[in-house]
Amino acid sequence: MDNRMEIALIYGSDREGRLCDAIADWTAAQLEQHTDYRLRRIDPIDLPEPQQLREQLAQADGFVVVTPEYNHGYPAPLKALIDSAKAEWQAKPVAFVSYGGLSGGTRAVEQLRQVFAELHAVTLRDGVSFISAWEQFDSGGNLREPARAEGSMMRMLGYLHWWLDALRSARQRKPYKKLAGE
């Protein structure tokens, strides 16, 4: 039996020529260095049918969302993906890798925290943020100076692993349900 924790890597953009591909590939490479994770990519460009998407989200033990910041917020395709499910997000950790201009996507992340709180998901404080991201990656999608981002990723993954383990164990002991009267 495979006891690895399943992480759904969620792409936040569907724009043509998007930088999201390079950042998601970098993120996936970081995650794949850990043998206790199984990675599933979920991309708004080629989403499965709604029922299959909900099944994929339900199977995930946690999520890493790669999001750009568009006009001081997160992209509409990401919101549509999030809103396509409800219970599938509950009692699971959500980590963020963001990118953008001077804020590095942090305004998008702060808004997403509110959305995920409503869905009873647990967002991580520590994440990875790429300020002026288009300057940090070369034309081949490689990070020019990876040390800082890799350090942030290692810290984020340490916390993510803790939350994955804690919440997975809790869900196995007792399924998560909202309290009566909510």
The predicted structure's pLDDT at residue 128 = 98
98 occurs within a structural domain: yes
pLDDT digits (tens, 9 = 90+) for 131-168: 999 999 998 889 999 999 999 999 999 999 999 999 99
**The token pair that represents 166 in the structure block:** 């804690």
Q: What are phi and psi of 138, to 5 degrees?
A: -85, 180
CATH of the domain at 102: 3.40.50.360
The predicted structure's pLDDT at residue 3 = 85
178 occurs within a structural domain: no
Which residue numbers in the chain have pLDDT < 50?
180
Radius of gyration of the chain (CA): 16
Q: How many Cβ atoms are within 10 Å of 162's Cβ, its own excluded? A: 12
How many domains does the chain contain in total?
A: 1
The predicted structure's pLDDT at residue 21 = 95
The predicted structure's pLDDT at residue 182 = 53
66 occurs within a structural domain: yes
111 occurs within a structural domain: yes
pLDDT above 70 covers a percentage of the chain that reads 97
The predicted structure's pLDDT at residue 167 = 97
180 occurs within a structural domain: no
181 occurs within a structural domain: no
The predicted structure's pLDDT at residue 159 = 97
19 occurs within a structural domain: yes
**The token pair that represents 23 in the structure block:** 């950042």
The predicted structure's pLDDT at residue 47 = 87
Q: What DSSP line would sit under 49-102, residue for residue?
A: -HHHHHHHHHH-SEEEEEEE-BTTB--HHHHHHHHT-SGGGTT-EEEEEEEEST
182 occurs within a structural domain: no
